[in-house]
């Protein structure tokens, strides 16, 4: 007979008789049966499901699903994603390189890429203690991870000296050499990759392609002073011509790279020590064509908003959607003020100030784009001749037009009022005074901390500014930046190109104060996008007075559909950054034929590409996009570039391709040629 081992039951409050039963003396059989278990029964407590268990279960499911999908993606055939895309969107077009290779095109002329400001990569060679571990790491053009890890340190190393425009003491940031320098900008933003890969499909390789990397923060002449960049570009072009059997090079600048190369063409032929000593026919011997893409030859009004308030239409819309967000003490010092400190120390941004004054951009009562309607439908034009001036003058818009010549206006009423009704008080005589509350902001501010309330108010009292008075305004609000600007750049129009002063390098990047080289066989193209609203003028207001706040803001509440005013910014036709007027005027008129700016009669062509947004999400930014950077992936543009590199001339590309009113607007500009 087996012995039964009695197990001592754990004490449990549930075994106790309820207090009410104890008081009443109720010891019924049922109550004792429920409260007193049998000795051989085991108590099994119920488990509880906590929030932690739920989260662990959820994270586990997500991880398993992710790894399963990743396994399927790696296991599927390489052509399966393309097959799915074609099922949804239809058959995909061949890339331009594949298409032209089937037509028999092969590599002929060596190609030189000139990247824009901002898109070229920069790496650290020497830094302060806070930058330990970042030697030869990308400070610009990578994932920008270090911006979030150590923002103060990053701003310190990316800024230049406010007095000299060169490296601060103990810091050396240098451009990354090779094609990799401008392959992409940030995560997923590819700039030159598509063009390079398509050129490779017709036979190009690294020895026939060269990326003219430079430190875009510096003034163009200072890239030579510090890094001998211009000499390196000259030597590489000469080497490419020599090793390719004497074939001249095709230059492909993008955005501000066009201004940089315009400076280079004057430098390379000018005598030393200011120039490269190549002689008056160097460009004629070495360059077949210059294909400018989205070039801001005459500057961009968007640069004015950058200097005044570090804003654009997008920032003003953020203020409209979330009032007070950017003015929050957490975000404001860390974002806008840091951007202002950077932009006021970079001389490359100063090169974007509008050139040509009121003659080009318009006055208080006139602008070349007057009559422009945001909703007007323009038919495609493909012409190789300038529009008839008589017909251009007879085209009068019936809709109310904005005064685009007023680039900055303090108040929507000022932007729309007749010029005779505007009571303006000159700001130049205003007495500046330091704001007491801004003395704690000197690590963030570069200019405004010395203006004072009287100086700020005087700027607003002047009411409205045109292209000429904008330069005077910037001298008032940003004297250090403009002192460097005056030494390296100019924004006027030359009356007499034989004047000896125009031999100075400060004029070489201004197409209205310099001449093209003596190279009649060379061709110059202007490729750019149209069909996107592009900022042309702004409505400003005084910002709320607070410590460390920028005193001016775009008035995001100013809207008027009829005059293309949205979020405080007036828009015209362009690529979203550069207006058509800036990108197309030089090739459409000022360089067209033999003029004082083009004495040898270099042939010039305007090629516009109409923006078409992607039809599905699978297209990404699309191969028909013509936005300022996305146009580098535009198949039509890439095909034209490849044809030129393979030997085609402008006439073989069927001359001009125009979608905008650039010829009509150019005829309205009274410029003696």
Q: What stretches of 603-644 adopt beta strand conformation (E)?
A: 603-610
Closest CA to 630 of 513, 528, 514: 528
CB neighbours of residue 167 within 10 Å: 20
Q: How far is CA 298 from CA 359, 398, 492, 510, 563, in A?
A: 12, 29, 10, 8, 23
Q: Cβ distance 550 to 631 under 8 Å?
A: no
HSE value, Cβ hemisphere, 13 Å, CA-based, for 5: 1
The total number of residues shown for the chain amounts to: 673
Question: How many angstroms separate the Cα of 269 from the Cα of each of 211, 234, 276, 280, 484?
Answer: 21, 10, 6, 5, 25
Secondary structure of residue 541 in the 3-state scheme: strand
Query: Does residue 227 carry a catalytic annotation?
Result: no
Active-site entry in 159, 215, 254, 255: 255
Helix, strand, coil percentages, rounded to 5, for the chain: 40, 15, 50
Phi, psi at 151, each rounded to 5°: -60, -40
Residue of 146, 167, 555, 575 with catalytic role: 575
| DSSP-derived secondary structure letter, 105 | -
In the chain, count H helices and then E strands: 25, 15
Helical spans, DSSP H, in 13-141 = 19-24, 29-35, 51-75, 80-89, 96-102
Give the list of residues 6+ apart from residue 89 with CB closer than 8 angstroms, or none: 615, 616, 618, 619
Q: Reply yes or no on whether 659 is catalytic.
A: no
Check whether the bond before 273 is cis (ω within 30° of 0). yes
CA dihedral sign of residues 377, 379, 385, 391:
negative
Q: What is the Rg, in whole angstroms, of the alpha carbon atoms belonging to the chain?
A: 33
Active-site annotation holds for 53? no
Q: Which of 628, 640, 659, 666 is catalytic?
A: 628
> Per DSSP, what are the bridge partners of residue 175?
122
Q: Cα(253)–Cα(86) distance, rounded to whole angstroms?
A: 34
CB 342 within 8 A of CB 159: yes
218 near 348, Cβ under 8 Å?
Answer: yes
Angle, CA 425 vertex, CA 419 and CA 426 arms, to 5°: 105
- The catalytic residue positions are 255, 575, 628
């Amino acid at each position: 007979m087996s012995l039964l081992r009695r197990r001592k039951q754990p004490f449990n409050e549930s075994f106790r008789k309820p207090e009410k039963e104890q008081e009443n003396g109720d010891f019924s059989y049922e109550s004792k049966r429920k409260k007193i278990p049998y000795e051989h029964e085991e108590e099994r407590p119920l488990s509880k499901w906590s929030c932690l268990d739920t989260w662990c279960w959820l994270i586990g499911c997500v991880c398993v699903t992710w790894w399963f999908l990743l396994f399927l993606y790696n296991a599927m055939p390489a052509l399966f994603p393309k097959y799915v895309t074609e099922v949804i969107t239809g058959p995909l077009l061949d890339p331009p390189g594949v298409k032209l290779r089937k037509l028999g095109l092969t590599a002929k002329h060596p190609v030189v890429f000139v990247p824009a400001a901002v898109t070229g990569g920069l790496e650290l060679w020497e830094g302060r203690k806070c930058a330990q571990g970042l030697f030869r790491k990308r400070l610009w053009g990578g994932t920008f991870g270090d911006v979030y890890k150590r923002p103060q340190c990053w701003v310190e190393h990316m800024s230049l000296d406010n007095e000299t425009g060169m490296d601060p003491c103990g810091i050396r940031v240098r451009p990354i050499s090779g094609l990799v320098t401008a392959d992409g900008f940030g995560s997923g933003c590819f700039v030159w990759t598509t063009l390079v890969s398509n050129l490779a499909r017709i036979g190009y390789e690294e020895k026939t392609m060269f990326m003219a990397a430079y430190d875009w923060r510096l003034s163009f002449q200072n890239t030579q002073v510090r890094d001998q960049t211009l000499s390196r570009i000259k030597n590489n072009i000469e080497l490419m011509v020599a090793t390719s059997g004497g074939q001249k090079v095709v230059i492909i600048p993008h955005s501000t790279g066009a201004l940089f190369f315009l400076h280079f063409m004057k430098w390379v032929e000018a005598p030393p020590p200011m120039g490269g000593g190549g002689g008056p026919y160097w460009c004629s011997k070495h360059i077949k064509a210059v294909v400018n893409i989205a070039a801001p030859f005459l500057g961009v009004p968007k640069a004015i908003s950058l200097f005044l308030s570090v804003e654009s239409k997008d920032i003003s819309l953020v203020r409209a959607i979330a009032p007070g967000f950017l003015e929050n003490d957490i975000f404001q010092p860390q974002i806008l003020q840091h951007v202002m400190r950077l932009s006021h120390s970079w001389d490359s941004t100063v090169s974007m100030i509008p050139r040509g004054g009121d003659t080009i951009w318009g006055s208080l009562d006139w602008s070349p784009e007057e009559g422009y309607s945001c909703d007007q439908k323009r038919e495609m034009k493909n012409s190789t001749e300038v529009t008839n001036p008589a017909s251009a003058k007879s085209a009068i818009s019936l809709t109310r037009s904005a005064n685009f010549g007023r680039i900055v206006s303090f108040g929507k009423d000022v932007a729309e009022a007749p010029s005779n009704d505007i009571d303006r008080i000159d700001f130049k005589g205003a007495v500046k005074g330091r704001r007491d509350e801004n003395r704690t902001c000197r690590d963030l501010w570069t200019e405004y901390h010395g203006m004072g309330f009287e100086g700020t108010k005087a700027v607003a009292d002047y009411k409205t500014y045109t292209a000429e008075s904008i330069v005077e305004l910037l001298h008032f609000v940003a004297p250090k930046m403009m002192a460097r600007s005056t030494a390296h750049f100019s924004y006027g129009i030359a009356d007499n190109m034989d004047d000896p002063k125009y031999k100075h390098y400060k004029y070489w990047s201004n197409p209205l104060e310099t001449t093209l080289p003596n190279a009649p066989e060379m061709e110059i193209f202007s490729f750019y996008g149209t069909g996107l609203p592009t900022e042309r003028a702004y409505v400003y207001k005084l910002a709320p007075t607070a410590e460390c706040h920028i005193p001016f803001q775009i008035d995001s509440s100013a809207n008027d559909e009829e005059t293309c005013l949205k979020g405080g910014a007036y828009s015209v036709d362009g690529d979203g950054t550069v207006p058509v007027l800036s990108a197309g005027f030089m090739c459409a008129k000022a360089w067209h034929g033999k003029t004082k700016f083009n004495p040898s009669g270099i042939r010039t062509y305007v090629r516009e590409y109409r923006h078409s947004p992607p039809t599905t999400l699978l297209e990404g930014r699309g191969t028909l996009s013509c936005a300022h950077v996305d146009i580098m992936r535009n198949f039509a543009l890439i095909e034209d570039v490849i044809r030129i590199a393979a030997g085609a001339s402008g006439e073989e590309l069927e001359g001009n391709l125009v979608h905008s009113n650039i010829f009509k607007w150019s005829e309205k500009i009274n410029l003696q040629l």
